[in-house]
Amino acid sequence: MNEEIKIHSTGLDTLSLYNIAFTVGDLEKSITWYSVVLNFNLVNKTSFEFPSGSASIAILKGSGIRLELIEFPNGKRIEELFAPAPLHLIPIGTKAIVFQVEDLKIASEELEAKGVKFVWREQYIAGDKMLCTMIEDIDGNKINIFQENTTI
Contact 85, 120 (CB under 8 A): yes
pLDDT at res. 8: 58
pLDDT < 70 stretches in the chain: 1-8, 152
Q: In degrees rounded to 5, what are phi and psi of residue 19?
A: -160, 170
- Which residues are within 8 A (CB) of 143 and not within 5 positions of it... i.e. 6 or more apart? 38, 96, 97, 98, 99, 134, 135, 136, 137
pLDDT confidence of residue 6: 60
Backbone angles phi, psi at 2, to 5 degrees: -90, 120
pLDDT at residue 138 in the model: 95
Nearest by Cα to 69 from 53, 80, 58: 58
Round to whole Å and give the CA distance between 132 and 144: 7
What pLDDT shows up at residue 7?
A: 57
* Sign, CA torsion 80/82/83/87: positive
Q: What's the pLDDT score for residue 1?
A: 52
* Structure confidence at residue 33 (pLDDT): 97
Put simply, whether the predicted model's pTM sits higher than 0.85 gets the answer no
